A and B are shown apart, each in its own frame.
Chain A
Amino acid sequence: MKSGSNLERVLSEGHFAVTAEVGPPRGPDPSAVKKKAESVKGIADAYNVTDNQTAVVRMSSIAASKILLDEGLEPVMQMVCRDRNRIAMQSDLLGAHALGMRNCLCLSGDHQVAGAGGKLNGHPGAKNVYDVDSIQLLSILKGLRDDGVQEGGDTIEPRVGFFIGAAWTPMGPPEPFRVVRLAKKIKAGADFIQTQAVYDTDRFAESMKKVVDMGLADQAAILPGIILPRSAGMLRYMNANVPGIEVPDSMIERMKSSKDPKEEGFKVAVELIDAVRGIPGVKGVHLQAIEAEHLLPQLVERAGLLPRP
């Protein structure tokens, strides 16, 4: 075991893993995190805690992860390259490790100009950092873990034990390069991969075939993302506006013609989970119900993924 994390254990024992996303609140109240934790406890092997997603200020990923940990849920602390340089990131990684975090997902992060949206202002005037990119962050984290060496060459004692994660957008342009980029992430240090939401399972299967053929599926655990659809409008919006998400017209039509779109959404999500489960190389799923985490237990149960190992 590289990290001793529950997620690593579940995967190494050969179970089909389940991760779920828990977004920290836009305020300092720990009970908001505890409430979310309570609503999703026991349905996943680890819970992703986002790091100021869409460049909107929220409770820090580290703090919210610690609250989850105290509530008995294992966090996957997310870390983006937008807001911190390599000094702050490594310091936060050591601090997070000291607090008990054992999974870290390394991301580029949403650009502050493209972020926010809706009723929120975000911080479009912020200075972004991008001292390192997500692949370099993976390398740095692997260096801290496997070599006990910081990016600048100084040593740390003892080494950290993190299970290292990365994201993959298989259907983002330029598509031929996406598998190459995934290979770079795995080479840089990724142990597990959580993907952008998959709705077109045939196209995802094509990408996975390349991944398997390149031997990547043996080197890292691939967990396709499944976002619970709740309406045709939501699918249409994501298809048009969220980079890397491709929703087949037939699925939008199916949601549109349904008399009970919420129920239909569960059926669609369960079918998606079943479909990706059958694709060679897939080792689990990463579940999201944007701003509606309380629906996740029902989804996990209906997908036959309970109890968790």
Chain B
Amino acid sequence: MIFAERKPIEEILGKIEGCKRVLIAGCATCVAECAVGGEAETETLAPLLSMARKRAGSALDVVTRTVEKQCEWEFVEELADDVGAADAVISLACGIGVQAMAERFLDTPVYPGVNTSALTMREETGLWVSRCAACGDCVLGETFGLCPVARCAKSLMNGPCGGSRKDGKCEIDENLDCVWNLIVERAEERGQLEALSEIRAAKSWSNSRHGGPKRVVREDLRQ
């Protein structure tokens, strides 16, 4: 899922300076899964903002609303009345949701309340780990189901760098697994270490952001 982390409260307060009424708009999909932008989090953020403003001597009226998906027009539309009554919107959706809101409600400033940072899996309660980098050229079939693009700090395609620690963790974080260590382990378990001896040529990044923003037309769906 799309993973995000809440922005520092000071940054959010800075954006809504002078506003008397704001809407905190949650999204019940990915950001709710990662416990940063769902209904519960809109309710956590609201008193933090209003108390901070109260302390600063300028009261703030905070309204919260959460919709199923901020990345689809039909759900965004449900927020029309609340947006109309607010001086500004703080969207706790991912960057896609924030943009949908900003595009639909041109007269009201929409500010992001979170930083969207990765495509992750919740490995266990309270722990999210990168799984995909949307590189547009999936190699999981050659790397035993473990992604070196998203999970190697250097996106190496031909094995681990010299920076893996004695315990098989990555040089950038003592708790982060070196994914190449995991790939090699899995290959060994299957008795297929030899499969990793093939040189993987320079990758084409052109089907990812590097090739320009995506604009995909599926004629079969447009009939």
Complex contacts, B178 vs chain A, CB 8 Å: 173
The docked-state distance in angstroms from the alpha carbon of A140 to that of B163 is: 23
Main secondary structure of the interface of A (DSSP, over half): loop
Contacts of A81 in B (CB 8 A): 154
Q: How large is the interface on A (under 10, 10 to 19, 20 to 34, 35 or more residues)?
A: 35 or more
Interface size class of B (residues with CB under 8 A): 20 to 34
Question: Assuming A174-B181, A176-B188, is B193 touching A130 (CB within 8 A)?
Answer: no
Point out the residues of chain B lying under 8 angstroms from A244, CB to CB.
162, 164
Residue contact A243 to B165, C-beta cutoff 8 Å: yes
Instruction: Say what secondary structure dominates the interface of chain B.
Output: loop
Q: Which residues of A contact B197 (CB under 8 A)?
A: 180, 183-184
Q: With the chains together, A109 CA to B171 CA distance in Å?
A: 12
The answer to whether B172 and A108 have CB atoms under 8 Å apart is no
**Residue B196 CB within 8 A of the other chain:** yes
Kindly report which residue of chain B lies nearest to residue A113, judged by CB atoms: B172
Q: Closest CB-CB distance, A239 to chain B, in whole Å?
A: 9
From known contacts A136-B202, A177-B193, A184-B199, infer whether A172 and B153 are also in contact, taking CB-CB under 8 Å. Answer: no
Q: Which of A86, A135, A140 has the most CB of B within 10 A?
A: A135
With CB as the reference atom, state the residue of chain A lying closest to B197. Answer: A180
Contact between chains at A114 and B155 (CB < 8 Å):
no
B132 touches A (CB below 8 Å): no
Whether, in the assembled complex, B13 has its beta carbon less than 8 Å from a beta carbon of chain A, the answer is no
Using a CB-CB cutoff of 8 Å, which residues 285-300 of chain A contact chain B? Answer: none
With contacts A110-B163, A173-B166, A243-B163 known, is A139 near B199, CB below 8 A? yes
Contacts of A132 in B (CB 8 A): 202-203
Scan residues 151-204 of chain B and give those whose CB is less than 8 A from a CB of chain A.
153-168, 171-173, 178, 180-181, 184-185, 188, 193, 196-197, 199-203
Does B205 touch A at the CB level, under 8 Å? yes
- Could you say which residues of chain A place their CB within 8 Å of the CB of B180? 174, 177
For the complex, what is the distance from the CA of A177 to the CA of B181, rounded to whole Å? 9
Is there an interface contact between B193 and A180, defined as CB atoms closer than 8 Å? yes
Q: Is the CB of A135 within 8 A of B158?
A: yes
CB-defined interface of A238-252 with B at 8 Å, one 1/0 digit per residue?
000001100000000
Chain B residues with CB below 8 A from A134, complex form:
156, 158, 161
B13 to chain A, nearest CB (A): 23
A134 to B167, CA, bound (A): 23
Closest to A180 in B: B197
Instruction: Determine if B159 and A176 form an interchain contact, defined as CB atoms under 8 angstroms apart.
Output: no
**CB neighbours of B200 from chain A (8 A):** 135-136
Of chain B, the residue at the smallest CB distance from A168 is B162
The answer on a CB contact under 8 Å between A111 and B172 is yes
Q: Are B158 and A130 in contact (CB under 8 A)?
A: no
Q: How far, in angstroms, from A54 to B154 measured CA to CA in the complex?
A: 14
User: Considering only CB atoms, which chain B residue lies closest to A175 in the complex?
Assistant: B184
A132 to B158, CA, bound (A): 10
The smallest beta-carbon distance between A231 and chain B, in angstroms, is: 22
CB under 8 Å from chain B, chain A span 102-135: 108-111, 113-114, 128, 130-135
Min CB distance A164 to B, Å, is: 14
How far is A80 from B171 in the complex, measured between Cα atoms in Å? 16
A18, CB-defined interface residue at 8 Å: no
- Selected from A113, A140, A167, the residue in CB contact (under 8 A) with B162 is A167
Residue in A closest to B159 when the chains form the complex, CB atoms: A181
Contact bitstring A178-213, B, C-beta under 8 A = 1, else 0: 001101100110000000100000000000000000
CA distance A86 to B184 in the complex (A): 27
A110 to B178, CA, bound (A): 14
A283 within 8 A of B: no
User: In the complex where A173-B181, A180-B196 touch, is A108 in contact with B202 (Cβ < 8 A)?
Assistant: no
Q: Which residue of A lies closest to B155 (CB)?
A: A130
* Sample of 11 A–B contacts (CB below 8 Å): A133-B155, A136-B201, A139-B199, A139-B201, A173-B160, A176-B193, A177-B196, A181-B160, A184-B199, A244-B162, A244-B164
Knowing that A134-B158, A136-B201 are A-B contacts, what are 11 other residue pairs whose CB atoms are under 8 Å apart, sorted by A's residue number?
Answer: A86-B202, A108-B156, A111-B153, A111-B154, A136-B200, A139-B199, A174-B168, A176-B188, A180-B196, A187-B199, A243-B163
Which 8 residue pairs are nearest across A and B when measured between Cβ atoms? Answer: A169-B162, A135-B158, A114-B171, A108-B161, A174-B184, A181-B159, A113-B172, A133-B156
